[in-house]
């Protein structure tokens, strides 16, 4: 696609978004019943494909089988020991149907919430799809979150069922998951069943509400008619960090999300049925929802699923996998690329990477330097590097470097079709080209979040922070060709290894430690992880800060949130910089940490 073709299609999509999205919905998806209205905008609430009926699993599974692609591989799972498990579209449909019947036999109905706390494995995807097939709302929690974090989410959702596995492998060791679930649901009577996937036949203690995954599915029929879902019925809730303490349950619905995940996978990654594709994300994050599960399945691709870490058992593990499975499209994060780069090029040179065509990046800005390395050593100067800016809230890609357009290393690219982007100042006025500002989206798009679970006010805030538009929370700059560079968050969120972490969330975990009086958390630039968490801590009088206390505080954060939220650095101080109204000025701590000018201090208390 030439830049002019992009431009004219883009303009059409912005002038007539309803026509643009309706024709895609018609041509790209199968509906049980067509919608009677494309879009309804009741600011800030919006609906797409009103009264349309569909089930996302029909588009991800049944229609491929009906089209004769039942024998195409849907997933190739590779564990830490390179043990491979594959599943075809036909078999995946049968497995999903069996679990759907199993869930139905436990009384799970449309609209019920089911929490998944599982490792990256085929059954994790089966569980998501089975929920979607029966119309239950799934909420996948990344298997690194602590029991407290899991518990809070289960309570927020009033989840009826939890699906888990007994362990996952990490660097050769079994990391147990089920004890975390046991702690999380202790005393929560509304959780009726825990389905446990026993991975290697090991026995485990079983309580009354426990159900064995394989026993549950073994006797079930492999046919299940998908629930007829309304376009606006919730499909899933996924929690993400916000700038206040409590994580937000981002709600995505069926119709708009189905189309958005499908069409972005097709247009941005050029994915076609049977293409071998590898997105390194875990389904516990939004990237996994849209670009491991729903998007690639909807287009009929074959996805590689890799359990474990990039450097175990060896540092060339990822390249070995690309080579072995002849991966064509490879989607990962700058933090992973920086780590693999540090390991050295010799690990790449051992393998044949000539199957690669498109390299994708997501999660944080990819600097021109890292972009060039990715292009040169992984892509061998034959592949396009596609950056993709988006968020849990946006459901799918928003600003992209489409494969056919000229590349600008270090810039995320151009707005995707139908996405009306602007860069504004704090009063909402557009800023001139090459001027830093806030990234906003002017109109809803089909894949957008519909609300925050149980908290409409928090949803409304996204659309009211800057009047009339969606404020993404990122700073950005647009050049004279319309290319957008993302500069990082404008709020109190930290991006560490591509994970979004709320400073307030970490602070509230720290403050609940018995020795901590007050704390402030900042993101500190880090060569590999983008940012690492640094905590400034004020202790209660009389507490001694030694190594033991530091370790104890770190352990406490692990228990409260999870390992990814542990501060890498802890500094004890006597006083935190605050405004006269008592708000912690993290900006001052950050500037001081980096040896920069402290800026305007007129609001500083003292």
Least distance in Å: CB of 40 to ligand WT7? 26
Least distance in Å: CB of 58 to ligand WT7? 26
Per the CB < 8 A criterion, the answer to whether 181 and 166 are in contact is no
Q: Which of 420, 561, 489, 24 is nearest to 261 (CA)?
A: 24
Place of tokens 């670009």: 291
Give one DSSP letter per residue of 248-305, joined into a string. EEEEEEHHHHHHHHHHHHHHHH---TT-EEEE---TTSHHHIIIIIIHHHHHT-EEEE
Q: How far is the C-alpha of 526 from the C-alpha of 529, rounded, in Å?
A: 5
**If binding is defined by CB under 6 A, does position 502 make contact with ligand WT7?**
no
**If binding is defined by CB under 6 A, does position 230 make contact with ligand WT7?**
no
H or E element at residue 550: helix 547-560
Q: How far is the C-alpha of 522 from the C-alpha of 252, rounded, in Å?
A: 30
**If binding is defined by CB under 6 A, does position 395 make contact with ligand WT7?**
no
Least distance in Å: CB of 489 to ligand WT7? 5
**If binding is defined by CB under 6 A, does position 260 make contact with ligand WT7?**
no
* Nearest to ligand WT7 of 95, 332 (CB atom): 332
Contacts (Cβ under 8 Å, ≥6 apart) of 182: 207
Least distance in Å: CB of 291 to ligand WT7? 9
Half-sphere exposure of 471 (CA within 13 A, CB side): 24
Q: Which of 288, 300, 308, 363 binds ligand WT7 (CB under 6 A)?
A: 363
Q: How far is the C-alpha of 570 from the C-alpha of 553, rounded, in Å?
A: 9
CA quadruple 563, 567, 570, 575: dihedral sign: negative
Least distance in Å: CB of 471 to ligand WT7? 11
**If binding is defined by CB under 6 A, does position 283 make contact with ligand WT7?**
no
* Nearest to ligand WT7 of 398, 570 (CB atom): 398
Binding range to ligand WT7, per CB under 6 A, among 19-27, 357-365, 369-377, 572-580: 357-365
**Range 532-551, binding ligand WT7 (CB under 6 A):** none
Q: Which of 390, 453, 459, 462 binds ligand WT7 (CB under 6 A)?
A: 390
**If binding is defined by CB under 6 A, does position 387 make contact with ligand WT7?**
yes
* Nearest to ligand WT7 of 177, 398 (CB atom): 398
Q: How far is the C-alpha of 136 from the C-alpha of 57, rounded, in Å?
A: 12
Least distance in Å: CB of 532 to ligand WT7? 16
φ/ψ of 466, rounded to 5, equals -115, 125
Least distance in Å: CB of 563 to ligand WT7? 17
Q: Which of 466, 495, 496, 503 binds ligand WT7 (CB under 6 A)?
A: 495
Least distance in Å: CB of 550 to ligand WT7? 28
Q: How far is the C-alpha of 111 from the C-alpha of 330, rounded, in Å?
A: 35
**If binding is defined by CB under 6 A, does position 523 make contact with ligand WT7?**
no
User: For the window 411-440, what string marks contact with ligand WT7 as x by the rule CB under 6 A?
Assistant: -x----------------------------
**491 in the Ramachandran plot: left (φ > 0), alpha (ψ -120 to 50) or beta?**
beta
**If binding is defined by CB under 6 A, does position 486 make contact with ligand WT7?**
yes
Least distance in Å: CB of 389 to ligand WT7? 4
* Nearest to ligand WT7 of 87, 472 (CB atom): 472
φ/ψ of 419, rounded to 5, equals -105, 115
* Nearest to ligand WT7 of 231, 332 (CB atom): 332
* Nearest to ligand WT7 of 196, 412 (CB atom): 412
**If binding is defined by CB under 6 A, does position 271 make contact with ligand WT7?**
no
- Report how many residues bind ligand WT7 under the rule CB under 6 A: 21
Q: Which of 240, 253, 264, 270 binds ligand WT7 (CB under 6 A)?
A: 240
Strand duo 210-212 + 193-197: pairing: parallel
**If binding is defined by CB under 6 A, does position 57 make contact with ligand WT7?**
no
**If binding is defined by CB under 6 A, does position 473 make contact with ligand WT7?**
yes
Q: Distances from the Cα of 390 to the Cαs of 231, 397, 398, 400, 416, in angstroms? A: 22, 5, 5, 9, 10
Per the CB < 8 A criterion, the answer to whether 420 and 408 are in contact is no
HEC secondary structure over 487-548: EEECCCEEEECCEEEEHHHHHHHHHCCCCEEEEEEEEEEECCCEEEEEEEEEECCCCCCCHH
**If binding is defined by CB under 6 A, does position 231 make contact with ligand WT7?**
no
* Nearest to ligand WT7 of 61, 440 (CB atom): 440
Least distance in Å: CB of 374 to ligand WT7? 13
**Range 303-322, binding ligand WT7 (CB under 6 A):** none
Binding range to ligand WT7, per CB under 6 A, among 16-24, 44-52, 382-390, 448-456: 382-390
Least distance in Å: CB of 505 to ligand WT7? 13
β strands within 18-112, DSSP E? 37-42, 45-50, 53-54, 73-78, 84-88
Q: Which of 466, 380, 463, 473 is nearest to 427 (CA)?
A: 466
Q: Which of 471, 415, 403 is nearest to 439 (CA)?
A: 471
**Range 152-181, binding ligand WT7 (CB under 6 A):** none
Token pair recorded at residue 99? 């679990």
Q: How far is the C-alpha of 501 from the C-alpha of 482, rounded, in Å?
A: 30
Binding residues vs ligand WT7 (CB under 6 A)? 240, 286-287, 362-365, 387-392, 412, 472-474, 486, 489, 495, 500
């Amino acid at each position: 696609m030439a830049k002019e073709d992009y431009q004219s299609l883009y303009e059409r999509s912005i002038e007539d978004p309803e026509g643009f999205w309706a024709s895609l919905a018609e041509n790209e998806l199968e509906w049980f019943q067509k919608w009677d209205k494309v879009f309804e905008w009741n600011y800030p609430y919006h609906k797409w494909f009103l009264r349309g009926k569909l089930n996302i699993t029909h588009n991800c599974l049944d229609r491929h089988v009906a089209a004769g692609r039942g024998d195409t591989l849907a997933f190739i799972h590779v564990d830490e020991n390179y043990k491979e498990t594959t599943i075809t579209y036909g078999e995946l449909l049968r497995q999903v149907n069996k679990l759907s019947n199993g869930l139905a036999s436990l009384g799970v109905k449309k609209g019920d919430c089911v929490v998944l706390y599982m490792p990256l494995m085929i059954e994790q995807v089966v569980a998501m799809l089975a929920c979607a097939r029966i119309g239950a709302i799934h909420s996948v929690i990344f298997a690194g979150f602590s029991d407290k974090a899991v518990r809070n989410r289960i309570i927020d959702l009033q989840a009826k069922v939890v699906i888990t596995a007994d362990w996952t492998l990490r660097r050769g060791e079994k990391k147990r998951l089920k004890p975390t679930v046991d702690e999380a649901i202790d005393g929560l009577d509304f959780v009726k069943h825990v389905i446990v996937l026993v991975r290697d036949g090991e026995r485990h203690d079983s309580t009354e509400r426990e159900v064995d995954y394989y026993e549950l599915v073994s006797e079930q029929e492999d046919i299940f008619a998908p629930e007829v879902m309304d376009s606006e019925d919730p499909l899933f809730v996924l929690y993400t960090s916000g700038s206040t303490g409590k994580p937000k349950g981002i709600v995505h619905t069926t119709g708009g999300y189905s189309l958005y995940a499908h069409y972005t996978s097709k247009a941005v990654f050029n994915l076609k049925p049977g293409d071998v594709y590898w997105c390194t994300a875990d389904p516990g994050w939004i990237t996994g929802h849209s670009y491991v599960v729903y998007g690639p399945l909807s287009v009929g691709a074959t996805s590689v699923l890799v359990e474990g870490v990039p450097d175990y058992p060896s540092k060339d593990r990822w390249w070995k996998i690309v080579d072995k499975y002849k991966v064509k499209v490879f989607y990962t994060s700058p933090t992973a690329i920086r780590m693999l780069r540090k390991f050295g090029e010799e690990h790449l040179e051992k393998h044949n990477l000539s199957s690669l065509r498109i390299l994708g990046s997501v999660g944080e800005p990819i600097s021109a330097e890292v972009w060039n390395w990715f292009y040169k050593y992984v892509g061998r100067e034959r592949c396009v590097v596609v950056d993709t800016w988006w968020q849990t809230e946006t459901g799918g890609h928003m600003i992209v470097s489409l494969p056919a357009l000229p590349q600008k290393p270090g810039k995320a690219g151009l707005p995707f079709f139908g996405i009306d982007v602007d860069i504004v100042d704090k009063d909402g006025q557009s800023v001139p080209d090459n001027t830093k500002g806030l990234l906003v989206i002017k109109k809803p798009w089909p894949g957008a979040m519909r609300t925050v679970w149980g908290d409409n006010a928090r949803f409304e805030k996204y659309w009211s922070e800057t009047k009339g538009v969606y404020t993404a929370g990122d700073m950005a700059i647009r050049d004279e060709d319309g290319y957008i560079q993302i500069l990082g968050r404008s709020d109190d969120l930290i991006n560490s290894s591509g994970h979004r972490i709320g400073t307030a969330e970490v602070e509230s975990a720290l403050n609940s430690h018995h020795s901590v009086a007050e704390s402030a958390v900042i993101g500190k630039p880090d060569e590999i992880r983008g940012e690492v968490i640094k905590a400034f801590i004020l202790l209660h009088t009389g507490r001694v800060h030694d190594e033991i206390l530091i370790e104890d505080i770190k352990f406490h954060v692990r228990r409260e949130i999870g390992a990814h939220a542990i501060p890498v650095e802890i500094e004890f101080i006597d006083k935190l910089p605050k405004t006269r109204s008592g708000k912690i000025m993290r900006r001052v701590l950050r500037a001081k940490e980096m040896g920069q000018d402290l800026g305007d201090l007129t609001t500083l208390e003292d």
